[in-house]
Amino acid sequence: MQEFIYDPWPWYISGPLLTLVVFILLYSGKNFGLSGNFRTMCAIAGGSKFSNFFQFDWRAQKWNLVLLFGVMLGGFISANYLSNGEDLLLNPSTIVALESMGFHAPNGAYLPLEIFGTEALFSSWSGLILLFGGFLVGFGARYAGGCTSGHAISGLSELQIPSLIAVAGFFIGGLLMSHLFLPIIF
């Protein structure tokens, strides 16, 4: 039991737990989707002065901000109290591909310091890439009306064709980035 808590969870545990979350929210009359919070935060910050897109009743979306805060809290609990701090067991050929771009093996981290570390953040080239990436995430998630959680998990579960198109788009984008752009940028 103890090993189960501290070891990484296999897909057949996590997938059904994600479904459980979708149904807890559906039971409360809510749709699972995290990036809607971008719009809510912009509306709270006074975005309605600049665009009609932010003129909506954001108070009705407070539950989603609470959910997002819970996600961060859960991540903190998991990283500090439920983890054995062992390295990710990546496919060896993935590690070879990473090394060919000058990236180190994970070493217990979830994000490569080469892109997300403090040093990279303050070097102008990596800093600009992060800024541009953040812009694309914010723009794309709103333009498509959702991100991976809303379209891939909720939307596909509801057999929505627009979500299927969005997920195909995410996937093509990810393939292009991983195979074409990432080796050029780094």
Q: Residues in the site for other proteins, rule: CB under 8 A?
A: 8-26, 28, 30, 62-64, 66-79, 82-83, 88, 90-91, 93-94, 97-98, 106, 110-112, 115-116, 152-154, 156-159, 174-175, 177-179, 182
CA distances 87 to 82, 84, 95, 109, 113, Å, are 14, 9, 12, 7, 15
Q: How far is 164 from 162, CA to CA, in rounded Å?
A: 5
Phi, psi (degrees; rounded to nearest 5) at 133: -60, -45
CB of 66 to other proteins, least distance (A): 4
Q: Are 64 and 34 in contact (CB under 8 A)?
A: yes
CB of 183 to other proteins, least distance (A): 12
Decide whether 17 or 51 has the Cβ nearer to other proteins: 17
CB of 145 to other proteins, least distance (A): 18
Listed in sequence order, the DSSP H helices in 7-45 are: 11-27, 36-44
Q: How long, in residues, is the chain?
A: 186
Decide whether 70 or 127 has the Cβ nearer to other proteins: 70
Decide whether 26 or 138 has the Cβ nearer to other proteins: 26
The shares of helix, strand and coil residues in the chain, as percent rounded to the nearest 5, are 70, 0, 30
CB of 34 to other proteins, least distance (A): 9
Decide whether 49 or 59 has the Cβ nearer to other proteins: 59
